[in-house]
Structure 1
Amino acid sequence: MSTDFRLPDLGEGLVEAEIVQWHVAAGDEVTLNQTIAEVETAKAVVELPSPFAGTVSAIRHAEGDVVPVGEVLISFDVEGSDAAAAETAEKREPNLVGYGAAPRSTARPQRRARAGAAGDAVDLAVREAAPHDAIAPSAPEREPRERPRSTPPVRKLARDLGVDLDLVAASGVDGLITRDDVEAYAARTATATPEAPRGPVPPTAAPVASAAGDERIPIRGVRKHTADAMVRSAFTAPHAATFLTVDVTASVAFVAGLRADARYAERRVGIMAVAAKAVCLALRRTPELNATWDDAAGEIVRFAKVNLGIAAATERGLVVPSVKDAGGMPLLELSDAIRALAETARAGKATPADLSGSTFSITNYGVFGVDAGTPILVPGEAGILGLGAVQRRPWEHEGGVALRDVMTLSLSFDHRLVDGAEAARFLTDVGDVLRDPARAMVFA
């Protein structure tokens, strides 16, 4: 029988992907879990495995096409038990293993109570009932209702079609509303008379004229994701910035000593790793910068662990993979993790898990010879530290002037979460460790 394979739900709320490369062609025989294509989302390049064995009967999209989640990518001819398995798989909402688990329970998960360092975050909100919070006696109590269960792509489709998911009957596993359910409901209601628009229809902007030789580049993939994130950050968090220029001669000598030592030479520790370790130490004393502003819940959430985001310039654009629990790593392990993650990101192999979950970030524009800058916050984070280039300059030292290795630190922070004094304390702590790495031994 012929069966279709749709673009799976890639998780992280991603709703489309660009086909980078096909690994099969029409007429090819494929085996179970064989890689059939590579697709690029807004966060990573992902390999798509075949969910069954059979013969490729048709390729539905060409390389370079941007395909919505749930749309048919490829068709197969399968036989025997594989055909039955394919028919079952085709009825399920597509989901890529490792990029968003398939639903198992109809109950909505309860919000976990936070318990200080024992949990993932510390709840700082103090809830106090006000007199006006009381329910009026005349107001009937409404019984809470569960939100219809569906995946992000299906919810987006429902929004696009103007479908209320509360009215859609679910046919998926464990009461999941599928794409077919939404499309079927929309088709049944399509004959209804559409409501006249209320108010004037907004004018459509005229396309921008292109002069001869101009290049028009589609906004998609990492560039689109980065643009959306930067706009969201700039217009959500009130940014403030502070700067500190530090004599890092001792750190430069410390790094040179490690590289000259045969025991550590292969670890290739650099000033970036020392700065990252300094950040982790400083965040212990200024937890306000390892936090997020939860507007919906009316809470400030301080994270128990430091997941350190490392901004990396790649051929696909700027990405920020994160080192999980960086605060618990010794210097050499942290250096290895940063280097490995950066290499993975530049190769386009970082997973959505790698590219999410950071709680504080570092950007090293010093590698491009830039002295200082004002980085924009990663959405949801309280701070980001920019590292400038290490420059040999005349500098005050022990009462005189000498040539010293100097760098500028730039801290951008969310002023809702962090006051100026706290930002200054954090930056001073980072500078103290870079000025004298031995201070890390006495950091509390």
Structure 2
Amino acid sequence: MTTMTEASVREFKMPDVGEGLTEAEILKWFVQPGDTVTDGQVVCEVETAKAAVELPIPYDGVVRALHFPEGTTVDVGTAIIAVDVSGGAAPAPAAEQPAAEQPAAEQPAAEQPAAPRPADEPKAEGSGRQPVLVGYGVATSSTRRRPRKGPEVPVQQASTAIQTELNGHGAAPPPAAPAAKERPLAKPPVRKLAKDLGVDLTTVVPTGPDGIITREDVHAAVARAQAPQPEAPVAAAPAPAQTAVSYDTTRETRIPVKGVRKATAAAMVGSAFTAPHVTEFVTVDVTRTMKLVEELKEDKEFAGLRVNPLLLIAKALLVAIRRNPDINASWDEAAQEIVVKHYVNLGIAAATPRGLIVPNIKDAHAKTLPQLAESLGELVSTAREGRTSPAAMQGGTVTITNVGVFGVDTGTPILNPGESAILAVGAIKLQPWVHKGKVKPRQVSTLALSFDHRLVDGELGSKVLADVAAILEQPKRLITWA
């Protein structure tokens, strides 16, 4: 039997794109079965608990199978795509293959169908070929789709059956095997929807082209199932289906907690109930800092850089840490030690469509003010575009969260896991303030510093917060204290 050898098929497994990640969700496939891929070509985008990452394939070949549809969460180390690296093209025509090598699900009772053709092969005029669906290959008929017949395939063998059809080979079933129901046609996202809602696709009436079941067909089946039925002996509906549709979709929206949101939730709960938090507040006149921001915008050293209050607040915190280095530490529970860091990886909390992330600026303590401005600009733009790498969110030592951009005066921030302090910056507003013995309108903001009371006592936390406030009130201290 002439078939593709197992040695020529390479299975690309879900890699650990961060440190210690156990799973990732497939967001989008950029290739389909039959496509040719080259070493280094991006084949899919996945979302981990830390970021969205594009995965390149590490070899050349032809895609034979995508093992999981988009939206599936896959464990690290699980094969997600099969590639034939033998250098051969797609499966040969049926005339060159023995009948025994044809997929079982494609064989009619009295004749053998043509073998599946590759997705990128031009469609023959008048051939009536059907669109490619993952898990089906390409069916051929003269005027209409030929009913599928073959032995029933157990659920646990579904992935094997899909692989067999895509590869165009495998053992034929015994001739006397009873015919099974025609397998309904539906794309992977529709199958997932049906599974989530507990809908049996064999009971759904298809309305899509070529008899394909659409999302609307699945929802219509759910609506029919929920409609009042006359009293009559009927089979009991599966419990998962009633559970999945037990809420009113016109009044509620349910969002799966996964990826970045899931990781953030777990981290915040762990931090809140592990580290004893203390939060202190101070309200400060930042009028001089705001004037300095406007002056720096005109400085040629900052040409092309984004200069804003956050830049000077970050620099103020770095100076305060230099004056009080013990705040830049972490708690080692296993060793029962306080680990003081002699470097500052400054985290900046950023809200993104996928959830809250905290990338950090490596060795921020060693950067000049223009260098810090450049790093902040890159960090923010990368986060907004969803391109923050897992490495950029690891190793932080202290964090700033700017709640003022939302018009909020202050808050009690929760520590980023593994860090001992986080500074929240409130909105900068024009308020009446006593300045040089007179009440004048001044630019005022409230700062809040949360710290881990296991290693940061009230004196140390107060000194750091007071230093940041003093610098923002008199920014010339950036020079005198540095």
In the superposition, the TM-score normalised over structure 2's length comes to 0.64
User: What's the counterpart of residue 72 of structure 1?
Assistant: 79
Report the equivalent of 2:107.
none
Out of 304, 318, 322, which is 1:280 matched to? Answer: 318
Aligned positions, number? 320
Deviation string 1:31-76 (CA, Å, 9 cap, x unpaired) is 1111111111011111111111100011111111111111121111
Q: Deviations over 1:278-325 (max 9, x none)?
A: 000000122222000101011000000010000000010000000001
Q: Which amino acid aligns with 2:377?
A: R
Q: Residues 7-37 of structure 1: CA distance to partner in whole angstroms, max 9, x if unpaired?
A: 1122311111111111111111111111111
Residue 210 of structure 1, aligned match among 215, 225, 247: 247
| 2:50 aligned partner | 43
Q: Is the 8 A contact 1:307 1:323 kept in 2?
A: yes
Contact 1:258/1:265 (<8 A) preserved: no
Amino acid corresponding to residue 38 of structure 1 in structure 2: E
> Which residue among 386, 392, 400 is the counterpart of 1:362?
400
CA contact (8 A) 2:347 2:360 kept: yes
Q: Does the 8 A contact of 2:349 with 2:357 survive in 1? A: yes
Instruction: Tell me the secondary structure at the aligned position of residue 390 of structure 2.
Output: coil
* Structure label with greater radius of gyration: 2
Deviation at 1:80, TM superposition (A): 6.5
Task: Report the residue type matching 1:396 in the other structure.
Answer: V
Unaligned runs of 5+ in 2: 1-7, 89-241
Identify the residue that residue 25 of structure 1 maps to in structure 2. Answer: 32
Determine the structure 1 residue equivalent to 2:444.
406
The equivalent position to 2:306 in structure 1, one of 268, 284, 308, is 268
Report the residue type matching 2:49 in the other structure.
Answer: A
**Counterparts of 2:426 and 2:74 in 1: how far apart (Å)?**
40
TM superposition outliers: structure 1 runs of 4+ over 2 Å: 206-213, 260-266
Does residue 54 in structure 1 map to residue 92 in structure 2? Answer: no
Aligned residue for 1:313, secondary structure, equals: strand
- C-alpha RMSD of the superposition: 1.7
The separation in 2 between residues aligned to 1:207 and 1:234, in whole angstroms, is 32
Within 1, Cα distance between the matches of 2:424 and 2:438? Answer: 29
1:254/1:217 CA distance change after superposition, 3 Å: same
Q: Are 1:238 and 2:245 matched, yes or no?
A: no
Letter in 2 for 1:234: A
Residues 359, 381 of structure 1: 8 Å contact kept: yes
Partner residue, 1:375: 413
Note if contact 2:61-2:87 (Cα within 8 Å) is conserved in structure 1: no
* AA partner of residue 301 (structure 1): V
Task: Provide, for residues 337-387 of structure 1, a one-character-per-residue CA deviation record: whole Å limited to 9, x for no partner.
Answer: 012111111211111110111000000010111111111000111100000
C-alpha displacement of 1:425: 0.7
Corresponding residue to 2:380 among 342, 345, 358: 342
CA shift, 1:210, in A, is 3.0
Contact 2:293 2:308 in 1 (8 A): yes
Cα offsets for 1:382-440 (capped at 9, x unmatched): 10000001100110100111110011100011011111111111111001111111111
Distance 1:310 1:257 in 2: 24
Once residues 23 and 212 of structure 1 are traced to their aligned partners in structure 2, the CA distance between those partners, rounded to angstroms, is 32
Is the Cα–Cα contact under 8 Å of residues 288 and 382 in structure 1 kept in the other structure? no
Corresponding residue of 1:432: 470
Alignment of structure 1 residues 187-336 onto 2, 5 Å: 210-213=247-250, 214-336=252-374
Q: Which amino acid aligns with 1:283?
A: I
Cα distance between partner residues in 1 of 2:301 and 2:479: 21
SS, match of residue 476 in structure 2: helix
What percentage of residue pairs aligned between the two structures are identical?
A: 51
Counterparts of 2:21 and 2:468, CA distance in 1: 36
**Structure 1 position 2, deviation (Å):** 2.3
- Aligned amino acid, residue 258 of structure 2: R
